[in-house]
A and B are shown apart, each in its own frame.
Chain A
Amino acid sequence: MRPQTEAELAEAVRGAAGPLVVRGGGTRGIGRPVAGEVLETGGLSGVTLYEPGALTLVARAGTPLAEVEAVLAAEGQRLPFEPMDHRGLLGQGGEPTLGGMVAANASGPRRVQAGACRDSLIGVRFVDGRGAVVKNGGRVMKNVTGYDLVKLMAGSWGTLGVLSEVAFKLLPAPESAATLVFDGLDSVQAVEMFAAALGSPFEVNGAAHLPDGRSVLRVEGFASSVTYRAGALGRHLARFGAPGVLDSEESAALWVSVRDVAPFHNGGGDVWRLSVKPTDAPGLVAKAGGEALYDWGGGLVWLRVAVGTDLRGALGGFQGHATLVRASADTRRALAPFQPEPAPVAALTQGLRAKFDPRGILNPGLME
């Protein structure tokens, strides 16, 4: 099914006889494999409103992300949260859509400073499992009118409703960027260095430790300010060694590879994504074994382990959550791809699903 309008989308959901597999661009196959009729959102496409002077954009959910990024770039603006492109990691084709990005709450390195996708999302329209069209939020930056279902929809992986339209607040794209590169820090030292950097006033908006041993920090802004802050950071962090500096262009390429977890694109293995307290990260990685890429100053760990590894079993209890992002369908059936929730939280989650999708037809089981 490929509805062309929101009304057709509502009709399709209302009339569905069984489970639906919601597909945007089909680039982020994450979660328990779902069987059902494919519902494509690609027919709902196009930017409906863009006001550069108000830093806001509204677009239909099936709009290709690339199209939106091009529209924004023409005005020197961007989505603040640096959404990752899962294609390389998952070895998939297709064209990422805004709806898929929101449904995955896809947020890249800049999340550590600028917030996640859910923080920039200011409005949604969606069709719930009953086929009703619901709107929440709007197109203004500050809005506390009623419950915030906007956040609830972000990261719900199409299990509460099918998005038809999404609205964002934007940021100006910076004039310039620089990356400081520290060599030879182990993961514990790197996370210590990140704490010092992110605890400084120099507005670091990227902090990653790569499998090749480099520890990198990014600053962005007006050119003179970038030069100043890169220098000030170097002095502030002198005890961690003298960093090399990458210019805007080299910096951009490096952060795309961090964002998309390029080091794990080839060479197999399962890939997990851990959101943890940054200073816990090195210890957890040591416990689990495997190869790690640390982002968000240590708060996000991409971990490559042997195929079929039960990572949560290996880690025991920890504060945070682990998601199985890349694995065979069999592994994703055997190990819960999403972090199991404690009973009272799981009861709330199930309660919400039952209310929004009483027939259990939207990507059923994907997040279980």
Chain B
Amino acid sequence: MLHQLSWKVGGQQGEGIESTGEIFSTAMNRLGYHLYGYRHFSSRIKGGHTNNKINVRTSTVHTIPDDLNILVAFDQETIEINYKELTKEGVILADAKFKPVKPEDCLAELYIVPFTEIATELGTSLMKNMVAIGATAALMNLEDEVFQSVVNEIFGRKGEAVVQKNMEAIAKGHQITNELLKDQVGKFELEPGDGKHRLFMIGNEALALGALAAGSRLMSAYPITPASEIMEYLIKKLPKFGGTVIQTEDEIAAATMAIGASYGGARAFTASAGPGLSLMMEALGLAGMTETPLVVVDTQRGGPSTGLPTKQEQSDLMAMLYGTHGEIPKVVIAPSTGEEAFYDMIQAFNIADELQLPVIVLSDLQLSLGKQTVEPFDYSKISINRGKLKMDELPELEDKQYFKRYEFTEDGISTRVVPGQKYGIHHVTGVEHNEEGKPSEAAGNRKKQMDKRFRKLQYVHFDTPVFTDAPNKEADVLLVGFGSTKGAIEEIRPMLDAEGIKTNHAHIRLIYPFPVEEMKPLIDHAKKVIVVENNATGQLANILKLNMGHHDKIVNLTKYDGTPFLPLELLDRVKELLTDGDI
């Protein structure tokens, strides 16, 4: 029996490929397996090849694998595009309808199953995906019942008869495939899952749920791939919490509206991707200058310009660290898994409130859209800290006297009050200002206010600035990454170790202010530092060099073709970079 299985379904976009993957993976999740799914899709809505690859495992996983065990194909294109991933023992389950042909150099076995025909006989060709799921069940030796609860949920509304028909389609697919496979039945049987209830969600859902748990009641946003699911999730949920999502006319409005709401004392945020973040730059400066808490999620995608809107990339890093004109304090954090996405949102809102500045949560397409197993969120880990926000009664002020909203303090953080409070009147402006918020261009005041704003950065409380998996005291290689590359790196670190290349892994979670203290020993005790990132210019590597020095040790390992790193591919690339002297 296997510990891991890699399964993929492919066909034309809009043909129910998503739901096939969805039904299969939800059922696997309920059996207590760990999953990681990644969808390949194009910007077109209907038509164009799409596929959904799902990694099923008996232990934690944060990546899709390089190879493939089962390919479910609804058209020849799916076979052509994907067959090279199949292992020797792999299997293609193809719909008889398109008269599938096995490519000459394809090592895997092709089984032609009449998906559409069976489905049509049972009433509608739409059920061809259920037949395919039945065929998968045969290969994995699964009971059809494992799909029952999912089928109930999807088709229950349409009545018992429809549920029955769909289960019948699964059974038929299972049975016919059994006959075809003969001795291969159960070839891909997995060790049983642990039956634990875990979440199966995309990163954007974890981010959205995190915002909700952080107490955000307003989201202003403009749709964009791959961020839209965040607003779409919250517009369903926020009304139950008294809040709402406002779809604005553009991202400038989205960011400034969130600033307005935050100025008003509510927790508000926005989410977008590269093009939207470009439009928000001036607003980030306003939040920085006026010390208004602001949380912005950037789900990075292929840039520049419209770039590769549906593909993976991590190329907004520099723009997020340095973006907006002039200089403001800003915090940039980068979750790398669904769990981190959730808790990081809570931390982002807390940091924004505590330090009164913009916090950017840097996701990427793979994390945002990759559907993954996530451990249930721990309620006891949720806390809300609004810093020096003072919403209760304020001491009396003399008539016309303004509240010192920008009072100079030791930590640089001043008491924040909101409109509507008696004795709290003050001015807020993006112009340089004095302690009461009134415009002031005096040189002395200017310097003091700049220093005050930047002083706040010394007080960032973030639980894990660097995730480390560093079993080697002295390492040959330190692999460094941020965001969703974690999954591939964590797969290969032990593999390299096993090959005698002593390897440590550091994943940077707090990118600004940069965790110099945490990174120092890791870099000092590594012969070579390889920075793995999805961009062309090695942005994280440059930031590492800027903060840590060690230019001679730091090596770029980049990928910018729009696809995520795969573990074995990464393994080869790392080894290519190692010379004899390194080990």
The answer to whether A and B interact is no
The residues of A with any CB-CB pair to B shorter than 8 Å are none
